[in-house]
Structure 1
Amino acid sequence: MKSVGIIGANGYTGSELVRLLVFHPEVELKCLFSRSNSGTKISEIYPDLSGICDMELTNVFQNVDILFLCLPHKESQNWLLQNEVNKESLIIDLGNDFRLESQFGKRNFIYGLPELNKENIKSAKSIANPGCFATAIQLALLPLASANLLQDVYTTGITGSTGAGQKLQSATHFTWRNDNISAYKTLTHQHVEEILMNVNAVNSGKVQFNFVPWRGDFARGIFTSSTIKCDKTLEELKLLFKNFYKDSLFVHISEKPIDMKQVVNTNKCLIEIEKQGDFIVVHSAIDNLLKGASGQALQNMNIAMNWEETLGLKLKPIAF
């Protein structure tokens, strides 16, 4: 059994990791770190964990075999500077500190999108987990990039309130969010650089990527739609996608219209392709807290530890 620690265990992604890891047959939770809730049982903050995990949160770090960093963006670096982590420990960061700048001290963080980077993840000791929108959008675009079919891309995507984190904000109040949607960070979302870093590395020409994200009136899930000019037939495109993901255990190409409830509470990404005239639209759907965060982190752990990739992630969607 490998020992596991979660830094920032009291947040949404941290608590989702707890929910997944307590049932994982190869690991044992040893340290749930939280400065703000030290001394409180995790099940007192998240009653859904009652009887499943009643560990106390602590502000005293103890070294473990596998360490997940579930901290607000730009705080992982500070935490690592203040705490000495065993050099042999596997670190998986769920923030955005190391996605673009991979070198940190003696550690080199591998970008943790398994469908793109599995071979490098297998030998990694440091992994930068992708962002939620970045995951959904890259999985929709990478097969096209591999065939050099991308030039101008126009993407819209809608996400649930859990994507904004646990800290209450004006745009996450129930009275504001309910029966309401709004665009935010139009063309300036922090995941744009991350998406372009990988798509441009695969595509032969530079991609012009235009992204408008939306806040949805639901708790969890992401649904994106990317519009691209393309002269390939729909049948050719479906074959391209199926071949690209033939060895991917969590990405599925749907022949029918997809919806978000098909992926919520799973580590799956569903993709649907439509074509009208000279334009295609690629839809993708994920759970922002699982395939977009904690589930993908667990998937990366399994790959890096040479365990079955689906271990702890055989989950049924909440369909109703």
Structure 2
Amino acid sequence: MTNFDTSLSEVGVSSSSLGAAGLKVGIIGGAGYTGGELTRILINHPAAEIVFIHSKSNAGKPVSSVHADLLGDTDITFAADLRSDVDVLFLCVGHGDAKKFLEQEAEKFKGVKIIDLSQDFRLAKNANFNDLNFVYGLPELNKEEIRSATNIANPGCFASAIQLGLLPLAKAGLLKDIYTTGITGSTGAGQSLSATTHFSWRANNISAYKTLTHQHLKEITQSLRQLQPSFATQDAGSGDIYFVPWRGDFPRGIYISSTIDCNLTLEEVNKLYQDFFAGQPFTHVSDKMIDLKQVVNTNKCLIHIEKAEDKIVVHSAIDNLLKGASGQAVQNMNLMFGLEETAGLKLKAGYF
């Protein structure tokens, strides 16, 4: 047995089921932050081989010339042409561009599984597109559906962090009004510079944006209703979510604090959360206050709950580029192809 065969068996799949070269991967839009993080994970993945990384603006250049952290790790160059000889295709493109890409190239990739990191197919009303059906890819909510899915709509970063902090309460039917604040690193805005992402503006500064109107609110509400159908309906007292996002003075990570009325004891709430996330390899409930540094550079979500009188505050933290994007996309890939869910994702936080 070759070393590659051995590594495949360690992650729970035979090399024959994926072909001699293992799982073949293509990446569209590989020059951005999510494309770079996806490449970093996949070049070290025990069961994946990157066949091509597409970038129109960087075609012919070494990937490491754009993602300097990969210098010495890979000699892959950005491709101008698309190859269809892949098992899975990741779309790391801007919102609206995934739909345009598939309108033009769907026939070329017929039979290829697609994982889209944009917001184009996250809502149920958009999940069916030109004979392609997309499953919402939050493993802690839809794991069995993901295992049998052909196409995945990867969740948003804020949406992942907020939902993971609220799903246990939704399953118990305990959600009413939710008041949420969240702070995100500058990488959440993408690689292109703007007035609000430039270092001289972002340094030593915090600001709110998209108050109560953030685009992730719709997918959050959709997931909460999946477990608690009465939430945020037109009925009086059904509750809603009020979200104020902040831009933070740091590169990566998201920290969320959600305040909810709750008559359960703290012990009862913690038991609710422990039971809900039992067996989930990346989401963990802490009995101590959590820090952003514990999750940056990992695919983890950490949760801590506090209680005062009849209110609880649920704190949740993730890395916006990993559990909020590329790491979760690879987690979904692992599930879709019958691999160990944690394959390629056992990453240590840059804690010190």
Q: Output the TM-score relative to the length of structure 2.
A: 0.90
Matched residue, 2:54: 33
Unaligned runs of 5+ residues in structure 2 are 1-21, 233-239
1:233-260, Cα deviation, whole Å (9 max, x unpaired): 0000000000000021100000000010
Matched residue, 1:183: 208
| Pick aligned residue for 1:99 from 103, 118, 122 | 122
| Pick aligned residue for 2:93 from 71, 91, 98 | 71
Unaligned runs of 5+ residues in structure 1 are none
Verify: 1:62 aligned to 2:94, yes or no: no
1:196-255, Cα deviation, whole Å (9 max, x unpaired): 011022114223110000000000000000000110000000000000000211000000
Q: How does 1:121-200 map to 2 (within 5 A)?
A: 121-200=146-225
The whole-number CA distance in structure 2 between the counterparts of 1:202 and 1:288 is: 24
The whole-number CA distance in structure 2 between the counterparts of 1:20 and 1:58 is: 19
Q: How does 1:1-320 map to 2 (within 5 A)?
A: 1-63=22-84, 64-83=86-105, 84-100=107-123, 101-207=126-232, 208-320=240-352
1:99-137, Cα deviation, whole Å (9 max, x unpaired): 011001111000000000000000111000000000000
What is the Cα deviation at residue 51 of structure 1?
1.1
Percent identity over the alignment is 58
The whole-number CA distance in structure 2 between the counterparts of 1:113 and 1:7 is: 21
Q: Which amino acid in 2 is paired with 1:228?
A: I
| Contact 1:151-1:205 within 8 A present in 2 as well | no
The whole-number CA distance in structure 2 between the counterparts of 1:146 and 1:178 is: 40
Q: Which amino acid in 2 is paired with 1:27?
A: A
What is the Cα deviation at residue 39 of structure 1?
1.4
What is the Cα deviation at residue 35 of structure 1?
1.0
What is the Cα deviation at residue 277 of structure 1?
0.4
The whole-number CA distance in structure 1 between the counterparts of 2:69 and 2:229 is: 48
Secondary structure at 2:173 match in 1:
coil
Q: Which amino acid in 2 is paired with 1:223?
A: Y
Q: Which amino acid in 2 is paired with 1:18?
A: T
Count of residues paired in the alignment: 320
Secondary structure at 2:25 match in 1:
strand
The whole-number CA distance in structure 2 between the counterparts of 1:164 and 1:62 is: 29
Secondary structure at 1:172 match in 2:
coil
Q: Output the TM-score relative to the length of structure 1.
A: 0.99
| Contact 1:234-1:275 within 8 A present in 2 as well | yes
Q: Which amino acid in 2 is paired with 1:232?
A: L
Secondary structure at 1:170 match in 2:
coil
Q: Which amino acid in 2 is paired with 1:227?
A: T
1:25-67, Cα deviation, whole Å (9 max, x unpaired): 1111111001111111110111111111221111210011110
What is the Cα deviation at residue 3 of structure 1?
1.1
The whole-number CA distance in structure 2 between the counterparts of 1:88 and 1:144 is: 38
The whole-number CA distance in structure 2 between the counterparts of 1:111 and 1:46 is: 29
Secondary structure at 2:196 match in 1:
helix
The whole-number CA distance in structure 2 between the counterparts of 1:111 and 1:306 is: 18
The whole-number CA distance in structure 1 between the counterparts of 2:141 and 2:294 is: 23
The whole-number CA distance in structure 2 between the counterparts of 1:129 and 1:203 is: 22
CA RMSD of aligned residues (A): 0.8
1:74-94, Cα deviation, whole Å (9 max, x unpaired): 100101111134322110000
The whole-number CA distance in structure 1 between the counterparts of 2:350 and 2:215 is: 29
The whole-number CA distance in structure 1 between the counterparts of 2:311 and 2:144 is: 34
Matched residue, 2:15: none
The whole-number CA distance in structure 2 between the counterparts of 1:14 and 1:54 is: 16
The whole-number CA distance in structure 2 between the counterparts of 1:93 and 1:86 is: 14
